[in-house]
Chains A and B, each alone.
Chain A
């Protein structure tokens, strides 16, 4: 070995790029922002009344519930787990709050507290069975989906439970009020905004957030580095459950009732927002910003189709379609490099094989003035 070799650092100059994850991530966030703006522009042009503060407030108010649950669900997905019981959890909390008010004359604030505790408890059960007993979360929460929706129906005999008409509480101001000074901004929008800001901050800047990414990205590496991946996953389940309780209470304050079947398509909405937002179901990737855009895209679709006069049954159809399209587009983006390389290499191979025979054809094409391929 000569001297220059010894001085050189153990450098790895011949680095092989592995699909350039960074670039595809930037492109995706940028692309999703562009899609959101495009959807907004589309409806603004084609749907009357879409472009206006009142309507934007309305979309935001609807998206608030999706976001409050969507943010912890984002954590859960990034950590590599899944929750199908979001909707039923929300419905059961919603129903129990109504029953607590109606049958036990509880103050709405106390009843709301019970709803949140219940949701948290359900999340803890999901987390416990998944992380301690070790049942895959898909199965656990599929079972819970049935258990919880069944319970909600049993408790109410299948019918919605209305709050007493004369019930007055500051709780209704907080959940259903408007701020007059801001063109009647619905207060509930603020709760969604808070969920997004706090959620994004925790995921990005705290150790817990770092560990959520590590847990989903490479569980073995995370464990070997001393991160309690079970603990991380457990708390993600608990947060998701708690958020279902919060939304159950908010919805109760808004509609003044407990509806046992009110959460039937809520799971779809939340999961759709998270997936459209770019969270990899395989774990390790995603952002609250993406979920925010995902929730907004869904909110705009719902709202815009109604304004366009499309039958509301089409909503489910289109949301499903968007999920498949976005997921496909994202994969194409990730495979972009592979695809480009594949096309380049096959072109090389083709030309190498075809060149001898192709000469005649090419000169003929040139004479016709066709595109001269080098």
Chain B
């Protein structure tokens, strides 16, 4: 079966064996967030090791987006602590998140359509000459290098973002995060908006990032095939709480789906 195949793939990568050795990059402890009477997050813990891909799954309203927003600096938690390299951090703005090396690639593909790939890759931190003029030549050069190195497969960094396909856009958004030497990448539904072939390409792209091993990824996805193909670990949220954490190699899709819906529909799995 397909699950078995992807499982053996992860095991072959040696991710389970290395689990104990890997250094924790980002950790969240006891994070809570209230919206009026609604508890979006109830004291959740999460940790992400170097080069690791952790999948965060859960039904709509489980608190995934709230946690991503907190890690991105869009909202602040009511309680709990975030740590980067064991140092406590306070992410009070998206800019701060970037400075800390935490990059997010959002569901709606955060590119500026009217600008070209190079401008999008350097969005918000355009290189300058004499501290005044944007160094367009350097931008083009470094953007081309990054696109080639990451094998995004784009013909030209001068192409407008609006002329890219969904998968190319996703790849450019990820390349931007890597170009910023981000250490943690939050991928929010990276394939949800894509066709089958495009989605496939993005999965291959993320696999290459994993093989590269320099960046840790928190993957938020409804797509169980993606989760089992890419992730080392799966964390399940339900109604604002973390209900389970499993190594991909030691679980099954049935179990995870059961955990997501709370065992109501697949009583056999628990």
Tell yes or no: B266 within 8 A of A by CB: no
Q: Which residue of A lies closest to B108 (CB)?
A: A220
Known: A10-B201, A12-B198, A214-B124. A225 touches B168 (CB 8 A): no
> Contacts of B205 on A, CB cut-off 8 Å?
10
> For the complex, would chain B's binding face be called helix, strand, loop or mixed by DSSP majority?
mixed
C-alpha gap A209/B151 in the complex (Å): 30
The answer to whether B160 touches A12, judged by C-beta atoms less than 8 angstroms apart, is no
Flag if B134 contacts A284 (CB, 8 Å): no
Contact A12 B167 (CB under 8 A): yes
Nearest CB of chain B from residue A25's CB, rounded to whole Å: 8
List the A residue with the shortest CB-CB distance to B200.
Answer: A10
Nearest CB in chain A to that of B110: its residue: A221
Q: Which of A288-333 contact B (CB under 8 A)?
A: none
Q: Which of B104, B153, B154, B208 has the most chain A CB atoms closer than 10 A to its own CB?
A: B153
Cβ of A284 and Cβ of B151 under 8 Å apart?
no
Instruction: Give chain A residues whose Cβ lies under 8 Å from the Cβ of B72.
Output: 224
One of A10, A16, A224, A227 near B171 (C-beta < 8 A): A10
Pick out which of these stretches binds chain A: B45-53, B111-119, B237-245, B250-258. Answer: B111-119
Instruction: Report whether B153 and A9 are in contact in the complex, using a CB–CB cutoff of 8 Å.
Output: yes
- What 0/1 pattern do residues 217 to 232 of A give for CB contact below 8 A with B? 1101111111110000
**A222 touching B115, Cβ below 8 Å:** no
With a cutoff of 8 Å between Cβ atoms, the chain B residues found around residue A209 in the complex are 134
Q: How far is the CA of A302 from the CA of B95 in the complex (A)?
A: 48
Looking at chain A's contact residues, the main secondary structure is: loop
Assembly CA distance A232 to B165 (angstroms): 29
Interface size on A, residues (CB 8 A): 35
A211 to B95, CA, bound (A): 14
Chain B residue at smallest Cβ distance from A22 = B160
Give the chain B neighbours of A227 by CB distance below 8 A: 123-124
Contact B108 A211, beta carbon cutoff 8 Å: no
Evaluate whether A21 and B112 lie within 8 angstroms (CB atoms) in the complex, with A9-B151, A12-B153 already known.
Answer: no
Known contacts A15-B165, A218-B111; A210 and B126 CB within 8 A of each other: yes
A225 cross-chain contacts in B, Cβ below 8 A: 94, 98, 110, 123-125, 176
Complex formed: what's the CA distance from A16 to B198 in Å?
10
- In angstroms, Cα B72 to Cα A21, docked, is 31
Instruction: Say yes or no: B163 contacts A284, CB within 8 Å.
Output: no
Beyond A218-B110, A222-B124, whether A16 also contacts B165 by CB under 8 A is yes
Least CB distance, A78 to chain B, in whole angstroms: 9
CB contacts (< 8 Å) of A223 on chain B: these are 94
A21 x B134 contact (CB < 8 A):
no
CB-contacts of A212-254 with B (<8 A): 213-214, 217-218, 220-228
Q: Residue among B123, B162, B176, B202 with the most chain A CB within 10 A? A: B123
B133 in contact (CB, < 8 A): yes
Specify which of A9, A15, A21, A206 is in contact with B160 (CB 8 Å cutoff).
A21
Known contacts A10-B201, A221-B110, A284-B114, A214 near B123 by CB under 8 Å: yes
A205 sits at the interface (CB 8 A)? yes
Which of B106, B114, B154, B165 gathers the greatest number of chain A CB atoms within 10 Å? Answer: B114
B112, A221: Cβ atoms closer than 8 Å: yes
Which chain B positions have C-beta within 8 A of A18?
A: 162-164
Instruction: Give CA–CA (A209, B153) in the complex, Å.
Output: 29
- Select which of B126, B151, B163 is within 8 A of A21 by beta carbon: B163
- CA of A226 to CA of B123, assembled, Å: 8
Against A, the Cβ 8 Å flags (1 = close, 0 = not) of B137-156 are: 00000000000000111100
Min CB gap B173→A, angstroms: 9
**A284–B112 CB distance below 8 A:** yes
Evaluate contact between A222 and B112: CB separation under 8 angstroms: yes
Q: Considering only CB atoms, which chain B residue lies closest to A5 in the complex?
A: B204
The reply to whether A214 and B171 form a contact with Cβ atoms under 8 Å apart is no
For B133, the closest partner residue in chain A by CB is: A205
Residues of A within 8 A of B (CB): 9-22, 205-207, 209-211, 213-214, 217-218, 220-228, 284-285
Apart from the given pairs A206-B134, A217-B112, A228-B95, 14 other A-B contacts in the complex at a CB distance below 8 Å: A10-B171, A11-B151, A11-B201, A12-B164, A12-B167, A21-B160, A207-B126, A217-B114, A225-B98, A225-B125, A225-B176, A226-B93, A226-B94, A226-B98
Which residue numbers of B lie inside 8 Å of A, CB to CB? Answer: 72, 93-95, 98, 104, 106, 108, 110-115, 119, 123-126, 128, 132-134, 136, 151-154, 159-160, 162-168, 171, 176, 197-198, 201-202, 204-205, 208
The 8 A-B pairs of least Cβ separation, nearest first, read A11-B153, A9-B151, A225-B124, A221-B110, A217-B112, A10-B205, A226-B95, A15-B165
Q: Could you name 8 residue pairs across A and B whose Cβ atoms are closer than 8 Å?
A: A15-B165, A22-B159, A22-B163, A207-B128, A218-B112, A221-B111, A224-B72, A226-B95
